[in-house]
A and B are shown apart, each in its own frame.
Chain A
Amino acid sequence: MDELAAIAERVASRNSRLEKIRCVAEYLRSLSDEDLRRALRFLSGRPFSPGDARRLAVGHVSLREAVIAAGGWDPETVRLCIRQVGDIGEAIGLLLHGKTENRPLSLAQAERLYEELARTRRSGQKEDLLRECFLRYRPLTLKYFVKVITGDLRIGLQERMLEEAVAAASGASPALVRQAVHRTGDLAETALAARRGTLEQICPHLFRPLDFMLARPIASAAEVPDPGNWLIEDKYDGIRAQAHVADGRAALFSRGFAEVTAAFPELAAALERMPGSAILDGEIVAWREGRTLPFSALQQRLARKEVPLFLPLEAPAAFIAYDLLLRDGRELLDEPIEARRTELERLLLAAGEPLLVAPQCTAADRDELERLFDQARARGNEGLVLKRRGSRYEAGRRGGAWLKWKRPLATLDVVITAAEQGHGKRAGVLSDYTFAVRAGDRFVNVGKAYSGLTDEEIRELTGRLRELAVARAGPVLLVRPEIVLEVAFNGVQKSTRHQSGFALRFPRIVRWRRDKRPEQIDDLDRVREIYQNQAPASGC
């Protein structure tokens, strides 16, 4: 871990993407198999493998309490320091300067500490354990030890660059590494396979989420080539999820690879009753009397840690499956969609609510597509998803084999880059947000919105944003881009105010996307596309 910290510092001090990759690759090459696995997890900000259900459950409060106890600082000083530094891991390392025994910490020891933290139930015990660590190891090592706990190293090393470093370290082709990562969702395992030259044999594993296949957005039926060539489903307003089932055990993963099983006990119970093993792709929706309810009915569930099974639930959930990726040990990714569908129907035929199969149909022409779209909207769904006949399941790709057609002007997923205090009853909280879309490795602003969130959400968001603060410019708090919002708007116009060159008209926040990471938000090309496709007179 000491060495990993030194490497991380070196990576942070290089702007060049190539130099960062070279630096990491060299380090990876020097590691044993076991340490390679650990180092890659830690470098991607994870204590455990992505599919591992264990959670550290160590929050900022526990970290703060532990550094207060270890360093002998008063709480107010610690709070100020964290705010000034903008990263709790870095602040903790700095606050422990000169106060630790400076013992070495190996990657294996660090892993054992994370395991112990995950095992410990009470937060007081976690704090005791952290306090002991904080007094024992080197401050620079502790900085990165904590950054792994908070989930981001902040050294300008994106997942994609780590993949390239893995490729460079093993001599494998980056494309092959990437494909393997999509299939396993696990970079560490991929790196080991790359080292052994067995990348081609790599396949998905139960209870380790793999990357979802993604749909390219379209805004009208006119954008659909050859309308007869598509299998058509409703686009549901829910949470995209992968269900892993085997021998009476079930797990649900959302798109951020977060396990959400505990939030949907009724779905887990139904999935557990399924025979054999399977990985299903589908949507968790709020469901009552044969139709979907708005997603907001489920949103509260994600925020909650555990949902009791036998309490009357305000919104019952259903899992609408639309793809089958693995069945009884057989990988189906490369099978054509029709074959996967047949197996899926066979599997879920007997299940019944709350496990459903998305109804599928076809259209002869664009007029029929329009009709289907209107019907889907009338059923309370967002629109349509079109899947090309004969297509494979391309994990992690937005290749155009799937199309999604939402409302005439779709919403955008954006990330908050700056926040300001509101006025009146919102004077004490950060309720005005500047937000951005992706442009390559950067984020460029496209607008600013006043909150459409609940007071409760704003309060929670205010706390998160203060922790993410990197700088202050007058009343504006600049934050690290982490918080993903879905925004609706009336149009896109050219603008000189934002570096993107565009501004959204009348943007409003639809919801806080806790399930999405900033890498997954919309990009500038999408904004440009919307700008070009909008009808010239599409005012408000």
Chain B
Amino acid sequence: MRIEFTGDGIHLPDLDLWLDPRSECRRAWISHAHRDHAGAVHQEVFGTAETLEFYRLRHEGALENSTLHAVPYGQSWELAGARLTAYPAAHILGAAQLLVEWRGERLLYTGDIKLRSPLCGRSTEIVRADRLIIESTFGLPVFHFLDREPARDRIVSFARQCLEEDRVPVFVGHELGRGQEIAHVLGQAGVPFQAHPAIAQHLPAYAAAGFPAPGWSLYEGDVPSGAALILPPRLRPALTTGNRRVRVAYVSGWAALDNARARTGAEELIPYSDHADFEELMALVKAVGAEEVDVVHGYAEAFARILTLRGWLARAPQRARLEQRNG
């Protein structure tokens, strides 16, 4: 099966199928609904029902000419002589890996993924394949993340400690995924909180999937008293700079490094991510059993080199391609 790595995404020409393309195309697989994967409108879109729901919200009013195919996990469908199957990927709600079987070859595209069980959503299902395309957002061996239980404990104890000191705990997390996970944890622990509208808009979808966040109210611009606050990263500085009542916790894979404090102004760093850390990536590559591995996103070259040194046939195709073009 031919695979083309381009600046616009990954193309499977034998099926005329694009994987998470960045610009408009005829037929696309959307692994999950984050902007860098689902930012463009296409004629035909495949994805899980949850992903397509977020996708519709993102592209409201722009999808009249698009056909959306919701595919359930584990049920295969045929496309241009290939058999395709979506498998759960722990990331955000609805995230999926795609297995493509074509003429006896098994290609697995992970999309964004982690191996640890998430606070919300499904755990990753291990799928065996001959060829693997894997993400490496955190593909350097300095990234070590928390399991969900210690992450939950850190979030709750930080919130309670702040409230006891009469301070406002502010959690900074991505507006789709991390924000709802923090909300779910606080809600389950009985900590009252406000959520920014960008985060709150996705809370019903998470509740419907079995991850409710009871007791939340909408953040309307004033720092609350006696309650926590969940904000998307870009809004944090305006609110909290110079406000001594506020303490900020940054919940992210980047919080694994101390320099996150200087970058974000957060005091508390909680290294919990919806991506795999280095060991998880290694474990995932081993479990899939593919001999040939293409690494995309983040520290692709570094991770591909480590795999190569350990005996895999590994490449970071997009970066290599980019350099050729520049050269």
Query: Using a CB–CB distance below 8 Å, which chain A residues touch chain B?
Result: 12-16, 71, 73-74, 76-77, 80-81, 84-87, 90-91, 94-95, 97-98, 154, 470-471
B305 in contact with A74 (CB, 8 Å): yes
B contact residues, total (Cβ < 8 Å) = 22
B268 in contact with A80 (CB, 8 Å): no
Name the residue of chain A whose CB is nearest to the CB of B256: A94
B residues near A71, Cβ cutoff 8 Å: 141
Q: Is B261 an interface residue (CB 8 A)?
A: yes
Q: How far is the CA of A152 from the CA of B142 in the complex (A)?
A: 20
Name the residue of chain B whose CB is nearest to the CB of A76: B305
Q: Is B140 an interface residue (CB 8 A)?
A: yes
Interchain CB contact (< 8 A) of B267 among A13, A77, A81: A13
Q: How far is the CA of A471 from the CA of B259 in the complex (A)?
A: 8
A residues near B263, Cβ cutoff 8 Å: 470-471
Query: Using a CB–CB distance below 8 Å, which chain B residues touch chain A?
Result: 140-144, 244, 256-259, 261-263, 267-269, 279, 299, 302, 305-306, 309
What would 12 A/B residue contacts be, using CB atoms closer than 8 Å? Answer: A13-B267, A13-B268, A16-B244, A74-B306, A84-B140, A85-B142, A90-B257, A94-B141, A94-B257, A97-B144, A154-B258, A470-B263
Q: How far is the CA of A98 from the CA of B145 in the complex (A)?
A: 13
B residues near A90, Cβ cutoff 8 Å: 257-258
Question: Chain B's nearest CB lies how many Å from the CB of A224?
Answer: 40
A residues near B309, Cβ cutoff 8 Å: 74
B residues near A95, Cβ cutoff 8 Å: 141-142
B279 in contact with A87 (CB, 8 Å): no
Question: Chain B's nearest CB lies how many Å from the CB of A318?
Answer: 44
Name the residue of chain B whose CB is nearest to the CB of A154: B258
Question: Chain B's nearest CB lies how many Å from the CB of A460?
Answer: 24
B residues near A85, Cβ cutoff 8 Å: 142, 257-259
A84 in contact with B258 (CB, 8 Å): no
Q: A94-B142, A95-B142, A98-B279 are in contact. Are A77 and B259 (CB under 8 A)?
A: no
Q: A77-B302, A154-B258 are in contact. Are A13 and B269 (CB under 8 A)?
A: yes
Question: Chain B's nearest CB lies how many Å from the CB of A71?
Answer: 8
Q: A74-B309, A77-B305, A90-B258 are in contact. Are A15 and B142 (CB under 8 A)?
A: no
Question: Chain B's nearest CB lies how many Å from the CB of A99?
Answer: 10
Q: A98-B279, A470-B259, A471-B262 are in contact. Are A81 and B305 (CB under 8 A)?
A: no
Q: A12-B261, A77-B302, A471-B259 are in contact. Are A84 and B279 (CB under 8 A)?
A: no
Interchain CB contact (< 8 A) of A80 among B256, B262, B302: B302
Question: Chain A's nearest CB lies how many Å from the CB of B260?
Answer: 10
A80 in contact with B261 (CB, 8 Å): no
B142 in contact with A84 (CB, 8 Å): yes
Q: How far is the CA of A154 from the CA of B262 in the complex (A)?
A: 11
Q: How far is the CA of A79 from the CA of B179 in the complex (A)?
A: 34
B residues near A94, Cβ cutoff 8 Å: 141-144, 256-257
Name the residue of chain B whose CB is nearest to the CB of A78: B141
Q: How far is the CA of A333 from the CA of B232 in the complex (A)?
A: 58
A15 in contact with B140 (CB, 8 Å): no
Q: How far is the CA of A98 from the CA of B282 in the complex (A)?
A: 14
A80 in contact with B140 (CB, 8 Å): yes
Q: How far is the CA of A13 from the CA of B143 in the complex (A)?
A: 19
B residues near A74, Cβ cutoff 8 Å: 305-306, 309
